[in-house]
């Protein structure tokens, strides 16, 4: 089974990034599932897209080096064991380097004017302010995205229908595959792309696509943008309007039979929002990872792990208990997730194992001389031939660590997600939990050494991660509320 993950716009890319990091840790999904992210962003220079692509590349590199194309290796290791086949889609082929008005009235440089009545209608529906005005719609230059105007994006996205790459992509979807669309409701790309994609799906005659189970995550406002007072009337980027815009879109969505036909529809928002500086160009917009994106990624996992869908009960939300009061309310930790819940057993448990493995890996990398000579000698961990392996894994871990740090960050006023304390000893790794007494670095060293020795014939890079993986999956990861 393949999961076709359509990530539209910045929020789409950000949720997928969290999802990839959860997959790295081995979150439970049906065996054999392959992920096909399709990243759709009209802003070709979007930093979010770029960051996601890099993360996926690093993930792929780890798989390449660790598993050496050996499926048995991949299947026997819970870390990094899901295949991610990336497919980026951009709008360059649609030649959108013009204003919306030109888009309507010209084709390949030749005038193709709208009929008078339609032109009048468009003038009554779209703001015709000049191109340099922040209000403009009809004269908006499309090379900067839709600037919060789904009434424009909703038209442009229809161009996808005739795009050969896109057609091929849809044609590859089988009835047993699944489709998941992530989009925000309050921006430009996502809110126009999601309904347009759903309409394309609906009109498609591809049986595979028609029959594949489909779900969507609608990301409601979860961050704010700081804008100059003078720009408060710039409605395209005014964060104060995020709620109002969401309301009108929600009102539209609830009547739309196409959207209501989803097998599952997930909604996520946050009323405790970080405030970030607005940048007109996507390449400079660099917001930290948030809890909402993390929950969104959990939504994808929920969809993958659901086999029966109810046509009535197909809307989903998420809520958490917040213990304590005061400032601490804004920090979510593992204790807020109950051990008996699937989120814990399917995702967080694996994430904890992965964190332990990462901590141990860091320890190995930085404590060559402090190690037990037996371990050092028996392994060739420090051999030059294994440098590339260490480097590839290290590169991914850095990315992962950044993500963890960003989730934790509360400085912009956003809610923090604090699971781990990497600056502490390994037995105190889990934030807000009792010390895990059984964990001593020497014990781990010994166990892992034995495991490595037992698998001398295995592909070298693989045996380390497998040994570490096995060790940390075998221990009963401590639940922080205990």
Partner 1 sequence: MINYKFLLHEPENKPPFQEWSFIPPITEEDISKIEDSVIKSTSGKIGTSIPTPLARLFTFKTAFSIVNKQLNAGEIDVEDIRQSIYGGIVSDCLDFLEWIFVEGINNFEQIPVNLTDNNDFGVTPNLLALSKAFNSTISSYFNKGLTITLFKHKQSGFIVGGTSPYSLLYTSPNWRREVKQAGLIQLRGLSADTLFDDTYCLLHSRNINFVSYLNSITNPILDKGDNSHPLKGFAEYVQTTIKKFGIIPQDFKAFDLAVFSPSHYFSFGFKKIDIESGDLIQSDFYLDKNLQHITSGNKPLVLSSKMTLLGQYVKGKPWSKDDIINFNQPYHSDLNKRKLPNSGIEYEYPFIIDSDLFQPKLIEVSYNINNNYFHTIESLKYGTRFLLPVKPLFFEIIGLDHISFEENLKVEETGNILKVTLFIPIIGSDGRYQKTRMVEFIKEYSIDTNSGKSDVNVTPFECAFFPFFRRIDMVNKNNHNKIILWLEKSNVENKISSILFYDNNLDIIGDNKIFNPYSKKSLDETKVDLKSGFPLTPVKRMEYGEEQFITNYFSTHLDFRLLEIKLAGDGYGGLLIPKFIELKRPFNKKFKYAIDFGTTNTHIEYAEMNHNGIIENTKSPFKVEISGNVPQINEKPLVVLMHKNSETLGDLDKVYPILMREFMPPSIGNDSNYYNIKFPTRSVMLDYKTPKNDTDAAFLHSNIAFKIGERDDFHPQAIYTPDLKWLLEDSNEIDKDIYKNRIRMFFEQLFYMIKYKATMDDCDEDGLTLCFTRPMSMKDTQLNTDIQKLIKLAIKKVFENDPNDTSKYIFELDESLAPYENNRAKFTNDSFCNIDIGGGTTDILFAYKINNVDYNFYLTSFRFAGNVIWGNEADPKTHNGIIQYFTDIASAKSKLHEKSHPFSEAFHQYNQYYLKGVSDSELVSVLFKNNEVLKFTETVFTNCIDFKLLLFIHYSAILYFVNFVYKKYETKLKYETTLSLSGNGSLYLNLIPVTAISNLLLKKFSNSTSNPIDGVIKEDFPKEITARGALLMKPIINQRSLVDDINSLDDDFVEVCIQLKEHTIDGSHVDTNSLTPELTKSLSSFFSIIIDLLKTNEKLKGQVGNISNYAEMFNEKYYAASIMKWLHVEKPNLKNIDSVFFKPLKYILFDLSNAIYEKNKIR
Scanning residues 97 to 116, which ones bind partner 1 (CB under 8 A)? 103-104, 107, 112, 114-115
The token pair at 403 is 């993500």
For residue 271, give the nearest of 334, 224, 229 by alpha carbon: 224
What is the distance between the alpha carbons of residues 238 and 109, in angstroms, rounded to a whole number?
A: 35
Among 57, 318, 363, 422, binds partner 1 (CB under 8 A): 318
Nearer to partner 1, 135 or 428 (CB): 135
Would you give the binding string for partner 1 spanning residues 278-317, x where CB under 8 A is met? -------------xx--x--xx--x----xx-x--xxxxx
Nearer to partner 1, 319 or 370 (CB): 319
The token pair at 18 is 């969290």
The token pair at 344 is 């814990």
Among 69, 132, 230, 251, binds partner 1 (CB under 8 A): 251
What is the distance between the alpha carbons of residues 48 and 71, in angstroms, rounded to a whole number?
A: 31
Helix (H) / strand (E) containing 364: helix 349-366
Binders of partner 1 in range 357-416 (CB under 8 A)? none
Would you give the binding string for partner 1 spanning residues 113-152, x where CB under 8 A is met? -xx-xx-xxxxxxxxxx-----x-x----------xxxx-
For 297, the 3-state DSSP assignment is: helix
Can you name the residues that pair with 37 across neighbouring β-strands? 5
In 157-290, alpha helices (H):
164-171, 189-203, 207-211, 242-253, 257-260
The token pair at 315 is 């809307």
For 37, the 3-state DSSP assignment is: strand
406, 21 in Cβ contact below 8 A?
A: no
Closest separation in Å from C-beta 9 to partner 1: 12
- CA angle, 124 then 125 then 127, to 5°: 90
104, 151 in Cβ contact below 8 A?
A: no
For residue 333, give the nearest of 418, 409, 272, 413 by alpha carbon: 418
Binders of partner 1 in range 261-280 (CB under 8 A)? 261, 266-271
Nearer to partner 1, 94 or 365 (CB): 94
Nearer to partner 1, 241 or 357 (CB): 241
What is the distance between the alpha carbons of residues 229 and 441, in angstroms, rounded to a whole number?
A: 54
Closest separation in Å from C-beta 411 to partner 1: 20
Nearer to partner 1, 169 or 295 (CB): 295
- 238 is a contact residue toward partner 1 (CB under 8 A): yes
DSSP codes, 413-447: SPPEE--B-TTS-GGG-BTTS---TT--HHHHHHH
182, 140 in Cβ contact below 8 A?
A: no
Nearer to partner 1, 268 or 441 (CB): 268
Residue with token string 């590169």: 395
For residue 94, give the nearest of 49, 154, 156 by alpha carbon: 156
182, 296 in Cβ contact below 8 A?
A: yes
Binders of partner 1 in range 7-66 (CB under 8 A)? 30-32
Closest separation in Å from C-beta 206 to partner 1: 11
Among 75, 168, 248, 284, binds partner 1 (CB under 8 A): 248
What is the distance between the alpha carbons of residues 87 and 306, in angstroms, rounded to a whole number?
A: 25
What is the distance between the alpha carbons of residues 204 and 383, in angstroms, rounded to a whole number?
A: 55
Q: Considering only 15-23, 249-257, 350-358, 383-391, which stretch makes contact with partner 1 by CB under 8 A?
A: 249-257
Nearer to partner 1, 255 or 366 (CB): 255
Binders of partner 1 in range 338-367 (CB under 8 A)? 338, 341-343
Closest separation in Å from C-beta 40 to partner 1: 14
Among 1, 44, 144, 475, binds partner 1 (CB under 8 A): 1
Binders of partner 1 in range 173-232 (CB under 8 A)? 175-176, 185-186, 191-192, 194-196, 199, 202-203, 205, 207, 210-211, 220-222, 232
Closest separation in Å from C-beta 424 to partner 1: 27
Closest separation in Å from C-beta 369 to partner 1: 35
Closest separation in Å from C-beta 343 to partner 1: 6
CA 70 to chain centre: 27
Would you give the binding string for partner 1 spanning residues 319-338, x where CB under 8 A is met? xxxxx-x---x------xxx
Closest separation in Å from C-beta 409 to partner 1: 18
Among 109, 132, 230, 254, binds partner 1 (CB under 8 A): 254
Closest separation in Å from C-beta 308 to partner 1: 7
Among 54, 64, 240, 440, binds partner 1 (CB under 8 A): 240
CA 137 to chain centre: 30
Nearer to partner 1, 103 or 356 (CB): 103
């Amino acid at each position: 089974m393949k999961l076709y993950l359509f990530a539209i716009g910045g929020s789409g890319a950000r949720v997928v990034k969290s999802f990839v990091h959860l997959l790295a840790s081995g979150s439970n999904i049906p065996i054999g599932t392959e992920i096909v992210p399709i990243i759709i962003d009209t802003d070709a220079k979007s930093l979010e897209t770029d960051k996601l692509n890099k993360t996926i590349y690093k993930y792929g590199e780890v798989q390449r080096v660790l598993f050496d194309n050996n499926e048995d290796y991949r299947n026997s290791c819970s870390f990094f064991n899901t295949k991610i086949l990336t497919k980026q889609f951009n709008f360059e082929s649609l030649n959108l380097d013009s204003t919306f008005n030109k888009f309507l009235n010209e084709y390949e440089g030749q005038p193709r004017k709208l009929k008078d009545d339609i032109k009048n209608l468009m003038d009554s529906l779209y703001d015709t302010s000049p191109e340099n005005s922040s209000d403009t719609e009809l004269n908006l230059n499309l090379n900067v995205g839709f600037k919060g105007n789904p009434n424009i994006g909703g038209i442009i996205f229809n161009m996808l229908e005739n795009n050969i790459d896109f057609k091929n992509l849809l044609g590859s979807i089988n009835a047993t595959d699944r489709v998941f669309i992530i989009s925000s409701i309050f921006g430009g790309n996502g809110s126009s792309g999601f309904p347009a994609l759903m309409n394309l799906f609906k009109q498609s005659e591809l049986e595979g696509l028609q029959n594949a189970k489909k779900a969507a995550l609608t990301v409601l406002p979860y961050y704010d943008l700081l804008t100059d007072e003078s720009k408060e009337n710039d409605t395209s980027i005014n964060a104060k309007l995020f709620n109002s815009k969401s309301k009108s879109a929600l009102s539209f969505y609830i009547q739309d039979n196409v959207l209501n036909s989803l097998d599952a529809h997930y909604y996520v928002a946050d009323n405790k929002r970080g405030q970030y500086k607005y940048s007109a160009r996507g390449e400079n917009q660099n917001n930290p990872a948030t809890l909402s994106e993390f929950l969104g990624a959990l939504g994808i996992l929920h969809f993958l792990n659901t086999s029966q869908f109810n046509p009535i009960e197909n809307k989903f939300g998420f809520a958490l208990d917040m213990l304590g009061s005061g400032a601490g309310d804004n920090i979510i930790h593992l204790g807020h997730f109950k051990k008996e819940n699937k989120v814990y057993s399917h995702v967080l448990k694996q994430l904890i194992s992965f964190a332990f493995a990462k901590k141990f890996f860091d320890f190995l990398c930085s404590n060559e001389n402090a190690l037990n000579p037996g371990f050092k000698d028996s392994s060739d961990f420090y051999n030059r031939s294994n440098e590339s392996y260490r480097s590839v894994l290290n590169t991914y871990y850095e990315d992962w660590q950044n993500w963890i740090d960003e989730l934790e960050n509360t400085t912009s006023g956003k809610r923090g997600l604090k699971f781990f304390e990497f600056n502490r000893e390994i037995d105190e790794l889990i934030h807000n939990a009792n010390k895990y007494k059984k964990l001593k670095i020497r014990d781990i060293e010994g166990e892992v050494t034995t495991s490595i020795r037992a698998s001398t014939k295995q592909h070298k890079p693989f045996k380390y991660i497998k040994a570490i993986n096995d060790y940390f999956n075998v221990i009963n990861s401590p639940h922080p509320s205990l």
